[in-house]
Structure formats: C-alpha cells, structure tokens
Amino acid sequence: MGRKSLAEERRAQIIEGLSRCISKYGLKRASVKKIAEEAGVLPSILHHYFKDRDEIIDELVRQVVDDLADRCAAQLRAHTSPKTRFDKGVDFLFGPPLLSEDTIAFFNEVWPEASRKPRVRESFTRLYRRFREVVLELLNETGKSRGLSPTDAKDLASMIIAIHDGVEQQWTFDRDNLSLKRMARMTKQMLELYVKDKGYAG
C-alpha cells in the first residue's frame, strides 16, 4: 500500500483533532478554532480540506463506524463454525468496543447535532444502514435468515439494532440493574424463536 498523500494526511490530522476536541470540550464547544489547535494547523487549513465543520463531523462518524465494522469482521474471521460466528457476532453487539465508555460518550455528543444539522443527520442515516448491512450479513452467512423473505430478514436486522440501542441507553443510565451478558443471551434466544417460527414453521 502506498504512502498517503499530503491531502489524506492533513484530513486525517484534522479529523483526529476533532476527536480530541470532543473528548476535551464536548462537540458543542468544538469550534473550528479549537479543532485547528488540536490538529496543529491554522483554521484556514481546515477550510482548504473540508467544506465546513459538519463535514469534519461526518467524516469522523464514518471513520468510527468503519472501525467498529472492521473490528467485528476481524473477530468473526477467527471462527469458522456458523453457530460460533453467530454467537460471537451478537456478543460483539453487547460488549466492548461497541458498548464502551468512549464509544457511547462519542455518540451521545454527536447525536444532538443530528437533530439540527442535515449533514450530521445524513451521517447517522448511513450509520444505521451500515449497521443493518453488517447484521444482515451475519444473519445470512450463519444461516439464520434461511427461510425468511428478504423483507423479514431486513426487519429482523432492524429489530436487533433496536434492541441494541435500547440496551445501550439503559446501560448508560442504569447499568447496576442490567447485565450485558444476559442481554446478549436473551437476544440470541429471541432470534432463535423468531427464526424457528418465521423460517421453518411459517
């Protein structure tokens, strides 16, 4: 793989600057000036490589999602058994790095921007589409979607994401009364029952 171009290096530098800003100040206070300071460049440099602040946020969200998807794929590659791959895939949804302090803090910071900024909202639309694709691929390659219509399989993937999001919110605010391991186990059991009913009995 060739060396990154100067433009690629600068963009990565600026995106990392935004990431550090969010950790230090929160996204709301992550101004262009502060992002430039954390990236070690002049504010004018940011406008040379990005249209605006929202585009930097968009790229950071994309980068975080791609990294999580890659880590999930890497974890599944270590296993060949469909059952094990399915179990590990669900476990990934309810464990680190997906449910970690850093990941949750990042998305909690960015989420409010999505309600006000169309570009950031588009980032989250792509996030959920990518998330759904990853879950659907897991269902397909482990045989869990066999016998389901394409619509049912897609809806099942969406339901899994909805369960994950709900568990994430509860774990954030009331983790003493929630076990991620039990949530993962119950999700697997619910999926097995749904697949048995829809795919084989229906």
Say whether 136 sits in a helix, a strand or coil: helix
Count of C-beta atoms within a 10 Å radius of residue 67 = 12
pLDDT digits (tens, 9 = 90+) for 83-116: 999 999 999 999 998 999 899 999 999 999 898 8
d(CA 27, CA 70): 25
**Whole-model pTM?**
0.86
Average pLDDT score, the chain: 91
Q: Give the residue-averaged pLDDT of 70-86.
A: 92
Measure CA of the first residue to CA of the last residue in the chain; give whole Å.
50
CATH number for the segment(s) 53-201: 1.10.357.10
Query: Which own/partner contact pairs does 65-69 have at CB distance under 8 Å and 24+ positions apart?
Result: 65/126, 65/127, 65/130, 65/131, 66/130, 68/97, 68/98, 68/103, 69/130, 69/134
CATH number for the segment(s) 1-50: 1.10.10.60
Task: Report whether 85 contacts 141 (CB < 8 A).
Answer: yes
Q: Would you list the domain boundaries of the chain?
A: 1-50, 53-201
